[in-house]
Chain A
Amino acid sequence: DAGVIQSPRHEVTEMGQEVTLRCKPISGHNSLFWYRQTMMRGLELLIYFNNNVPIDDSGMPEDRFSAKMPNASFSTLKIQPSEPRDSAVYFCASSQRGSPLHFGNGTRLTVT
């Protein structure tokens, strides 16, 4: 299995632009998680899905952030409009019930 695949690997954008991060979970995994990692705040859970349904989005910073999972093999995290404080590494992870999380390699977002 190729593991969790995230794209792009790096994203540099200007403040105010829309950013879309993509994730393909491991086939057969029914849970998908979006995390954000910064030096100041560490690893933060933004949102997670079970069977494509959002279960807990209390970690989403504000309305500028939205996440979707239209099917079992794809999810997006969108930031619109982006701000410099959104600069971070964004990780997607997937799991099956009772199994550990498998992380992607992350998307490093820089908003100037």
Chain B
Amino acid sequence: AQSVTQLDSQVPVFEEAPVELRCNYSSSVSVYLFWYVQYPNQGLQLLLKYLSGSTLVESINGFEAEFNKSQTSFHLRKPSVHISDTAEYFCAVQLYGQNFVFGPGTRLSVLP
């Protein structure tokens, strides 16, 4: 069975500092990988995805994630965060055509 681990439940960071949100998954077969962001009182929104091809994927607002098959990881990074990045971030995996499995989420708090 697939599972997703996000070791950090909360990550406080100062504005303009770099951040890494960790995600590890377990699966014996290939999967699709996703990061979702949830702002307060809103639904989850897709941030970026890895389906195939280049292992480094980027979002339009400066986040990037790298698929590492050997370490079964898909960590999310941003070199310089803004106050507006404060949100909860969820890593998710999907076995081809099957259910999505979400991690427990990491609450990113960007401090002034």
Chain A residues near B (Cβ < 8 Å)? 33, 42-43, 45, 48, 55-56, 91, 93, 95, 97-98, 100-106
Contacts and interface: CB of A to CB of B under 8 A. Distances in A.
Contacts, number: 44
30 contacts: A33-B99, A33-B100, A42-B102, A42-B104, A43-B44, A43-B104, A45-B99, A45-B100, A48-B99, A55-B99, A56-B99, A91-B43, A91-B44, A93-B44, A97-B97, A98-B32, A98-B51, A98-B97, A100-B34, A100-B46, A100-B49, A101-B36, A101-B92, A101-B100, A102-B46, A103-B36, A103-B43, A103-B45, A104-B43, A105-B42
A32 B36 CA distance: 17
Interface string B81-106: 00000000010100011011010110
Interface residues of B, number: 19
Which of B44, B90, B99, B102 is packed against the most chain A CB atoms within 10 Å?
B44
Contact of B105 (A42, A55, A101, A103): A42
Interface of B: 32, 34, 36, 42-46, 49, 51, 90, 92, 96-97, 99-100, 102, 104-105
